Chain A
Amino acid sequence: MNAGLNEYLILSGLLFALGFFGVLLRKNTLVIYMCLELMLVASTLALVAFSRFNGTLDGHVFVFFILTVAAAEVAVGLAIIVALFRKRGTVQVDELKELKH
């Protein structure tokens, strides 16, 4: 079986699914964040594959922007997690439920 666009898209979907389950199932905020990164990377893989098989460069440039936004997102998100930890002493989502009621 030749590695065509289909194989890359299926791989990307599987990677996205894994990240999705991590977000659904894990309780540690930091691990949830890592799984979000996994989902972002899966989408970039699909973009690069589409770009390669269409012979254009737009997907590559989009990935460029996604990388930048992801870096900014990680910086802000981790700062929020650290602030939360200093305030509450925990990063488990089970114990952070003040917005629930």
Chain B
Amino acid sequence: MANALFYLFSFFTLITAVGVVVNKNTVNAALCLLLSLVGVAGLFALLDAYLLAALLVLVYAGAVVALFLFIVMLLDVQGGVRAPFQRTTAVAGTVGLAVLVAGLAALAGRSGLASTPAPATAAGAAPVGAVLKHYAEMLFTTYLLPVQVVGFLLLIAMQGVIVLSRKFAAEDAK
């Protein structure tokens, strides 16, 4: 059952990711990104990371993709002719494809990682990622400093966005 779900979700994620890359319409690409993120959230749920699955849907699919759609519609960058790919771009893409395929083939061929067994959870005990208490313990002890730093980062990003939009509004008024 879990296997079937894994293949279903991974197929769905990859197909919609291809949709993001090849779609000519930017709104369609954003919606494909949304579906792809939902697929990844399903995979997270299969990996017993229920909190992260919920967060991914809320933060990414909810906030980020909505922001993308908002900006796409605000700028109105629909349609337009897509210039043919340059030769250097095509060559770089091919080389990148070759390197990545070689890496994946090495990973699949070695199968050293495949022997890693999934840690056996004792009967009745929830897997480690499914207990919210563990998250709280880690975030407030081991990772307390990073949490503070991330809080400052969010504050700085917010102020940066305000400054960016204010500056250009002033220039337009001139």
Cβ–Cβ < 8 Å partners of B96 in chain A: 17, 20-21, 24
Name which residue of chain A comes closest to B95, CB basis.
Answer: A24
The smallest C-beta distance from B37 to any residue of chain A, in angstroms, reads: 6
Cβ–Cβ < 8 Å partners of B46 in chain A: 3
Q: A41-B60, A67-B56, A85-B75 are in contact. Are A31 and B128 (CB under 8 A)?
A: no
The smallest C-beta distance from B139 to any residue of chain A, in angstroms, reads: 7
> Chain B: how many interface residues by the 8 Å CB criterion?
83
Q: Give the docked Cα–Cα distance between A16 and B26 (Å).
A: 20
- Judged by DSSP, the binding face of B is helix
24 CB contacts below 8 A, A to B, read A4-B118, A10-B104, A11-B43, A15-B40, A17-B104, A22-B20, A30-B68, A34-B30, A41-B60, A44-B52, A48-B47, A48-B52, A52-B47, A54-B116, A58-B138, A60-B49, A60-B129, A67-B52, A67-B60, A71-B63, A75-B67, A81-B71, A86-B172, A92-B80
**Interface set of B (CB-CB < 8 Å, partner A):** 2-3, 6-7, 10, 13-14, 17-18, 20-21, 23, 26, 29-30, 33, 36-37, 40, 43-44, 46-49, 51-52, 55-56, 59-60, 63-64, 67-68, 71-72, 74-75, 77, 80, 82-83, 85, 89, 92-93, 96-97, 100, 103-104, 107-108, 111, 113-114, 116-119, 127-129, 134-135, 138-139, 142-143, 146, 150, 153-154, 157-158, 160-161, 164-165, 167-168, 172
